[in-house]
Structure formats: C-alpha cells, structure tokens
Amino acid sequence: MKPSLKIAVAGLGTVGAGTLQLLERQAGRLAQRAGRPISVAAVSARNRQADRGADLSTIRWCDDAVELAAIPDVDVVVELIGGAEGVARNLVEAALANKKHVVTANKALMAHHGTALAGEAEKQGVTLAFEAAVAGGIPIIKTLREGLAGNHVSRVYGILNGTTNYILTTMRESGREFADVLAEAQQLGYAEADPSFDIDGVDASHKLAILASVAFGRPVDLAGVHTEGIRHVSRLDIEFAEELGYRIKLLGIARLTENGLEQRVHPCMVKRTTPIAAVEGVFNGVVAEGDFVGRVVLEGRGAGAHPTASAVVADLVDIAAGRHVPAFGVPQAALEALPGAPMERHQGAYYIRLMVLDQPGVIADIAAALRDQHVSMASMIQHGRGAPGEAVPIVLTTHDTVEAAMRRALDAIGKLGTVLEPPRMIRIEDF
C-alpha cells in the first residue's frame, strides 16, 4: 500500500471532532477505498484540554492554526474553524501557497472568496475541496460537478438550511406562530442565540452562490443573490398554503434566464406533491435539472457532526486516491461571469395575503390595483365575514407576472384605507 496521506485538522468543534471520529472508526475501509491510509499528523483548536471524543495524545498540537500550513510532511490542510475572514482565510491561503491540498466545510469563506481560492489552488497544482460547505452530508457538489458533467444544468434549487426548514415544518404541524417556534428551536439547540444568519436567509445565500457557481460554471457571485428570510411567514400563510395545495419552504434557487443568472433565496410556495415539499424538519434537499438526465433529487442531513464529517472525508478519499477535479468543475479562467438577472424582472406567480376591513368595494379596489399593473388574478379566498372594524384575511393568487408590476400593485393596495396591514407576498414556484 502507498504511504499514508497526512492531514492537519484546524478546528475540532462539531465538524472537526466528527471528522476525527469518522477517520478513526472507518480507518480500514477508507484505506481500501483510497488505496492508502489517511493519518492525522497535526491538529489545532483554541482549547487544548477539551475532550474531542478521539485520541489526540500522539498527534502534534498547534496553538496557532496557520502553523499547520507550514508543516513539511502535511499533504492536506482541513479547515473546520469557520468564518469568511481571520484565521480560517489566513490558514487556507497559507496552505495553498505552500502547495497543500485544502478541504474545507466553510461556506462563508467559499461564498466570499471561492473563485480567488480556486484560482490559487489551480496555480499551485493542488485541490480545493468543499463538499461539506453545501447541504452537509448531501454530496451535491460532486453530483453537480462530476455526476452531471454530461448535462447542461438549467436550474438547481433546494432547502439549504435545516434550521428554517425545522421552524416552517413545526409551524405547520403545531399551528404555532414563528416567534414561538423559533424560541423553542433555540432552547433545543436547533437555532443559534443570534438566529439571523439562518432565519434571514444569509446561510442559504452562501450555499446557493456556491451551488450556482458549480452548476453553471460561473464565478461565485454572492452579491448577486437576492435574499429574504422567513420572519414574515405567519401561521395564517401556512394554513392558506395548505388549503391551496402548497407547502411553504425557504428555498435557494439558481437558474439561467434570458435576463441572466437568477439567484434567489426566499420563502416559496411549492406544490405539496413535489419531492422538495416532502423534505421536512432539519433535513435538506436539493434538486438539479439537466437536459439529458432530467430531474435529480437528493435529500439528507444538511448539518451535524456525522453527516458533515461524511462529506469532509469523501473529499479526503478523493485526494488520497489522486482524483483531482477543478474546484468549480472547470479551470478558473473558464468560469464565465454572467450578468445577474435583476429580481424586478423575475417572472412567476404570486400568493398575496391582505388583512382588510370587510366592507363593500374593498375587493373592487384591490382588483383595480392589480388590473392597473396588468396582474391577472388566478384565485381568491375569503372565509366568513368580519365584524365591523375588524380585519379579515383575503388571499389572492396570480397568474405569471413580472415582479416589478406585482410590487407596484402591492404598493397601491397597501395604501388603500381598507387594507390594515402591509400586504404579504410569497412567490409560487412551478416545480
């Protein structure tokens, strides 16, 4: 058997400790699959005393993670610290500069600096691998980059954040409001004390930008991702979605349109019968559509020590076996920037919820505002009648229309004296 692949692991938290455990437990199988053993030569974290669930007594410890990049016999630096800047970025840059392969689970780093890092890896003749950065244990990067290499991918979309999917699923199952379910998710450890990264769609936007780059061979364009979170999704919306045959999901969607590359993260209405609607709780799901293969659906755990370690180790096995693919599937110079499709030009159907005073003429005023913007209504729901002065919900769905027109119509509707709260809008997807 060939000499072992020597790795240095920076960050021994959830993912780092899980990776060490996997490497220990599956050592024999991994050596067979890679054609050589994978051995941990050095590690770094902040607290040397913490129990990592693996035996570190014979492994070199570095207080300064960046030192790992300079250890001569280390072949691969595994960056599992996190963050787009600081020590994680310094370490990855130093490792590439020293011609070490890099494996990272860091979506923030890849979303902000992925294209430049891929260029540097290529220049140095080493691999930059990041399977774990998107959808945890789901091998979506490899699927898009290698498994679907024969296809022109037209669209890729998915549930890329388990926390928000857990919240939306629990709201639907329990009939509770967003704030209540979020507080419970925080208590259970499914949501961070500062949940904004998840619930405002930022985490999903990082992952979508990376996915879009791999799927379409474009430089990573995080700034081009239109991002909305789930704070405004209410119990009422979820109930109406059920009635209309939909589920509400926070999706990341990237597709090529005649206006350019559309990248968006926002709550969506998806038909209850679609595979993506069935992805519930903390699970992630990704769907890719290719011209030869058709639709490919992957579902699995998008986070957690073991699923994420599974993705990290898959990258290590590729490197150990000598399998090399450019980070984004094509050489960095071949990544073609494509203009981003402006959200105002997005075309699709919409769900609108209004809280209105139940009095004569209200519907006519709303219909007129839609007509003035050439927005055509597909359906309307109103249950029962409101008491005088009390707001009742009215729900409309539209046929396909242009986002800018929809927004102008909603502006006008929001100004009507009979509409008591800002109109709520959720895009309906045609999967």
Ligand X SMILES: NC(=O)c1ccc[n+]([C@@H]2O[C@H](COP(=O)([O-])OP(=O)(O)OC[C@H]3O[C@@H](n4cnc5c(N)ncnc54)[C@H](OP(=O)(O)O)[C@@H]3O)[C@@H](O)[C@H]2O)c1
Active site residue ranges: 207
Q: Which two tokens stand for residue 261?
A: 């590359």
Name the residue nearer to ligand X (CB basis): 190 or 216: 190
Kindly state the smallest distance separating residue 81's Cβ from ligand X, in Å.
Answer: 4
Q: Name the site residues for ligand X (rule: CB under 6 A).
A: 10-16, 44-47, 50, 65, 80-82, 87, 105-107, 132, 136, 303-304, 308
- By C-beta, is 265 or 369 nearer to ligand X? 265
Q: How far is CA 408 from the centre of its chain?
A: 30
Comparison of 45 and 225: residue with beta carbon closer to ligand X: 45
Residue whose CB is less far from ligand X, 131 or 280: 131
Among residues 65 and 419, whose Cβ is nearest to ligand X? Answer: 65
Give the span between the Cα atoms of 22 and 20, in whole angstroms: 5
Q: How far is the CB of 87 from ligand X (least distance, A)?
A: 4
Query: In the complex, what is the shortest distance from the CB of residue 431 to ligand X, in angstroms, rounded to a whole number?
Result: 25
Angle subtended at Cα 51 by Cα 45 and Cα 56, rounded to the nearest 5 degrees: 70
Indicate the residue among 12 and 117 with the shorter CB distance to ligand X: 12
Six token digits for residue 6: 């020597």
Beta strand pairing status for 424-428 and 347-357? antiparallel
Nearest to 53 by CA among 311, 301, 312, 305: 305
The CB-of-215 to ligand X minimum distance in angstroms stands at: 19
Nearest approach in angstroms of CB 107 to ligand X is 6
Contact 137/312 with Cβ under 8 angstroms? no
Token output for 167: 């919240």
Contact 102, 92 (CB under 8 A): yes
Nearest-CB residue for ligand X: 13
> CB 119 → ligand X: shortest distance, Å?
21
